Structure 1
Amino acid sequence: MTLNFTNLKKTVLLFVLLTCWLFQAQAQRMSVSGKVKSQEDDQPLPGVSIVIKGTATGTVTDAEGNYTIQAQKGETIVFSFLGMKSEEVVVADQTTIDLSLTADITNLGEVVVTALGIKREKKALGYAVTEVSGSQLSTAIEVNAVNSLSGKVAGVDISTPTAGPSGSTRVVIRGNASLSGKNQPLYVIDGVPMDNGDMGSDAGMWGGYDLGNGISSLNPNDIESVSVLKGASASALYGSRASDGVILITTKSGKVKKGIGVEVTSNYTAERVLSRFDDYQTTYGMGRQGVLPTSIENAQTTQVAWGAKLNPNVMVPIYNGEMKPYGAVNNNILSFFRTGSTATNTISLSGGTEKATIRMSVSDLRNQDIVPGTGLRRNTFLINSSLTLADKITISGKVNYINEKVDNRPALSDNPNNVGLALLGIAPNFDQRWLSQNYKDAQGNYVDWNGGNIYRINPYWSVNEIENTSTRNRIIGYLQLNYAFSKSLSFQARGGTDFYSFRYTNFSPKGTPTVTSGAVEELSVNVFENNFEGLLKFNKQILPEFSITAYGGGNIMRSGRENSTSNGQEIILPDIHPITNFRRQTNIYQLYKKQINSLYGATQFAYKDTYFVDATFRNDWSSSLRPGLNSYFYTSLSGSYVFSNHLENQRFLSFGKIRGSVAQVGGDAAPYQLSLNYGLLEFSHLGKPMGQVFNTDIPNADLKPTKTYSYEIGTDLQFLEGRVRLDVAYYNARTVNQILSLKIPVTSGYNNAVINAGQIRNKGIELSLSATPINNTTSGFSWDVMLNYTKNINEVERLHEQIKTYELSAARWAGAVIQAREGAAYGVIVGRKFKRDPEGNIIHNAAGFPMPTDATDQAVLGNGVHKWMMGLSNTFKYKGISLSALIDLKVGADIYSMSNALAYQNGTAEETVEGRDAWYASEEARLAAGVSQEAWTPTGGYVGKGVVNVGTAEKPEYVANAKPVDPELYWRGFLENSPEYFIYDASYAKLRELTIGYTLPPSIISKTPFESISVSFVARNLFILYSNIPNVDPESGYNNGNGQGFEYGSLPSRRSFGASVNLKF
Structure 2
Amino acid sequence: MKKKTLPAFPPGAPRLIYLFLLLFLITAGANAQTVTGKVLDNENKPVDGATITVKGTSKVTSTNASGSFTINAGTNDILVVTYVGFATLEVPVSGRNNIAVSLFKGDGSDLNEVIVTALGVRKASKKLGYSTTSVSPDELVKNRTANLGESLEGRVAGLNITPPAAGAGASNQIRIRGQVGFAGADNSPLLVINGLPIDQGARFAEGRDQPRDRGDNLANINPDDIESMTVLKGAAAAAIYGSRAARGAIIITTKSGQKNQGIGVDFTSSYTTSQALNFMDEIVQTEYGQGQGGNKFTTAAQIQGNGQFGWGAKLDGEPAINYDGVTRPYSAYPHQLFDFLQTGTNLTNTLGLSGGGPNGSFRASISTTNSKGIVPSNEYKRRIFNVGINQTIAEKLKLLLNINYADEDYINPPQIGTQGDGAVNFFNRMPISTPIEAYREHAKDPATGAEWKTSGFQGTVNNPYFALQNGQTYKEDRNRLLGTATLRYDIKDWLYIQGRFNYDRGDNFAEWNTLNGTGANTIIATSTPTITYRGSYNLNHTTTTDINADFLLGTSNQFGKFSVEASFGGNTLRSEWKNIVQTSTNFTVPDLYSYRNGTVKGVNDGFNYSQQRVNSLYGTAEIGYNNLLYISGTGRNDWFSILDPSKNSKFYSSVSGSFVFSELLKNQQWLSYGKLRASWAQVGSVALVNPYDGALIYALGANLFNGQTTASINGTAAPNPYLQPFTVTEKEIGLETRLFKNKLLLDIAVFDKVTTDQIIDVNLSGASGYLTSKQNAASLKNSGLETLVELKAVQKKDFSWTTSWNNAWLKTKVLDAGNPSGTILLLYFNGTGNEFLGEIRYTEGLAMNQLYTKTYKRNDKGEILVSGAGATIGRPLASTTNPPGITPGFQPVGSSIPKFTGGWNNNFTYKNLSVGIHIDYKFGGTVLSSTLLNMTRQGLSKMSLQGRENGYVFPGIDEVTGTANTNVITVANNGLQNFWTDYRNNQIGDPFTFKSDFIKLRNISLAYNFSNLIKKVDVLKFVKGLSLSASCRNVAILYKDLPGLDPEAIQSSGDIRAGYENSSLPTTRNYNLTLNVKF
1:571: how far off? 2.1
1:1063 maps to 1077
Name the aligned partner's letter for residue 476 of structure 2.
S
| Aligned CA distance change for structure 1 residues 333 and 261 (closer, same or farther; 3 Å) | same
1:894 maps to 926
Q: Is the 8 A contact 1:735 1:761 kept in 2?
A: yes
Structure 1: gaps of 5 or more residues: 1-28, 919-940, 952-956
1:555 maps to 571
1:92: how far off? 8.0
SS, match of residue 852 in structure 2: strand
Deviates more, 1:224-233 or 1:496-505: 224-233
1:275: how far off? 3.7
1:891: how far off? 0.1
The separation in 2 between residues aligned to 1:518 and 1:83, in whole angstroms, is 56
Pairing partner for 1:693 from 692, 713, 723:
713
Matched, 1:461 2:474: no
The separation in 2 between residues aligned to 1:55 and 1:327, in whole angstroms, is 80
Deviates more, 1:687-696 or 1:830-839: 687-696
Counterparts of 1:829-868 in structure 2 under 5 Å?
A: 829-846=851-868, 847-854=873-880, 856-868=888-900
Q: Is the 8 A contact 1:204 1:809 kept in 2?
A: no
| Aligned CA distance change for structure 1 residues 689 and 573 (closer, same or farther; 3 Å) | farther
Pairing partner for 2:495 from 484, 489, 500:
489
Matched, 1:451 2:465: no
SS, match of residue 937 in structure 2: helix
Deviates more, 1:964-973 or 1:655-664: 964-973
Deviates more, 1:787-796 or 1:299-308: 299-308
Counterparts of 1:618-697 in structure 2 under 5 Å?
A: 618-668=636-686, 669-679=689-699, 692-697=712-717
Percent identity over the alignment? 31
Counterparts of 1:53-202 in structure 2 under 5 Å?
A: 53=55, 54-55=57-58, 57-63=60-66, 66-69=68-71, 76-79=78-81, 88=90, 96-99=97-100, 101=102, 107-179=110-182, 181-199=185-203, 201-202=204-205
2:508 maps to 502
The separation in 2 between residues aligned to 1:319 and 1:484, in whole angstroms, is 79
Q: Deviations over 1:826-872 (max 9, x none)?
A: 01011222101344332111110010123613211221110110111
| Aligned CA distance change for structure 1 residues 403 and 452 (closer, same or farther; 3 Å) | same
Matched, 1:338 2:354: no
SS, match of residue 466 in structure 2: helix
Counterparts of 1:707-786 in structure 2 under 5 Å?
A: 707-777=727-797, 780-786=798-804
The separation in 2 between residues aligned to 1:345 and 1:683, in whole angstroms, is 60
Name the aligned partner's letter for residue 493 of structure 1.
G
2:16 maps to none
Matched, 1:532 2:533: no
Pairing partner for 2:592 from 560, 563, 576:
576
Pairing partner for 2:977 from 957, 968, 975:
968
| Aligned CA distance change for structure 1 residues 414 and 88 (closer, same or farther; 3 Å) | closer
Pairing partner for 2:236 from 233, 238, 258:
233
Pairing partner for 1:916 from 925, 948, 955:
948
The separation in 2 between residues aligned to 1:997 and 1:685, in whole angstroms, is 78
Q: Is the 8 A contact 2:399 2:485 kept in 1?
A: yes
1:23 maps to none
Matched, 1:604 2:622: yes
| Aligned CA distance change for structure 1 residues 735 and 48 (closer, same or farther; 3 Å) | closer
Pairing partner for 1:820 from 825, 830, 842:
842
| Aligned CA distance change for structure 1 residues 834 and 84 (closer, same or farther; 3 Å) | closer
1:20 maps to none
Q: Is the 8 A contact 2:110 2:125 kept in 1?
A: no
Q: Is the 8 A contact 1:558 1:596 kept in 2?
A: yes
Pairing partner for 1:1029 from 1001, 1024, 1042:
1042
1:21 maps to none
Pairing partner for 1:1053 from 1067, 1070, 1076:
1067
| Aligned CA distance change for structure 1 residues 562 and 690 (closer, same or farther; 3 Å) | farther
Q: Is the 8 A contact 1:841 1:946 kept in 2?
A: yes
Q: Is the 8 A contact 2:82 2:114 kept in 1?
A: no
Q: Is the 8 A contact 1:205 1:810 kept in 2?
A: no
Q: Deviations over 1:697-748 (max 9, x none)?
A: 1111122332111110000011111111010000011111111111234454
1:517: how far off? 1.1
2:311 maps to 306
Q: Is the 8 A contact 2:257 2:356 kept in 1?
A: yes
| Aligned CA distance change for structure 1 residues 883 and 1019 (closer, same or farther; 3 Å) | same
1:163: how far off? 1.1
1:1039 maps to 1052
2:20 maps to none
| Aligned CA distance change for structure 1 residues 264 and 896 (closer, same or farther; 3 Å) | same
1:36: how far off? 2.9
The separation in 1 between residues aligned to 2:353 and 2:703, in whole angstroms, is 57
The separation in 1 between residues aligned to 2:770 and 2:116, in whole angstroms, is 47
Q: Deviations over 1:191-231 (max 9, x none)?
A: 001143345x3523666222322223322221222211111
1:299: how far off? 3.3
The separation in 2 between residues aligned to 1:37 and 1:166, in whole angstroms, is 39
| Aligned CA distance change for structure 1 residues 534 and 1033 (closer, same or farther; 3 Å) | same
RMSD: 2.5
Q: Is the 8 A contact 1:423 1:459 kept in 2?
A: no
| Aligned CA distance change for structure 1 residues 678 and 76 (closer, same or farther; 3 Å) | farther
The separation in 1 between residues aligned to 2:123 and 2:214, in whole angstroms, is 37
Name the aligned partner's letter for residue 1054 of structure 1.
T
The separation in 2 between residues aligned to 1:362 and 1:102, in whole angstroms, is 31
| Aligned CA distance change for structure 1 residues 1006 and 540 (closer, same or farther; 3 Å) | farther
| Aligned CA distance change for structure 1 residues 41 and 408 (closer, same or farther; 3 Å) | closer
| Aligned CA distance change for structure 1 residues 569 and 602 (closer, same or farther; 3 Å) | same
Structure 2: gaps of 5 or more residues: 1-30, 526-532, 881-886
The separation in 2 between residues aligned to 1:889 and 1:360, in whole angstroms, is 38
Deviates more, 1:503-512 or 1:549-558: 503-512
SS, match of residue 530 in structure 1: strand
SS, match of residue 126 in structure 2: helix
The separation in 2 between residues aligned to 1:43 and 1:392, in whole angstroms, is 33
Pairing partner for 1:372 from 360, 376, 388:
376
The separation in 2 between residues aligned to 1:713 and 1:944, in whole angstroms, is 53
1:441: how far off? 4.2
> TM-score, structure 2 length as denominator?
0.89
1:1037: how far off? 2.3
Q: Is the 8 A contact 2:739 2:745 kept in 1?
A: yes
Q: Is the 8 A contact 2:86 2:105 kept in 1?
A: yes
Counterparts of 1:178-327 in structure 2 under 5 Å?
A: 178-179=181-182, 181-199=185-203, 201-204=204-207, 208-278=211-281, 279-300=283-304, 301-312=306-317, 314-327=318-331
Deviates more, 1:326-335 or 1:1051-1060: 326-335
Question: Aligned residues, how many?
Answer: 1004
The separation in 1 between residues aligned to 2:548 and 2:585, in whole angstroms, is 41
1:332: how far off? 2.2
1:767: how far off? 0.5
Name the aligned partner's letter for residue 876 of structure 1.
F
Deviates more, 1:703-712 or 1:315-324: 703-712
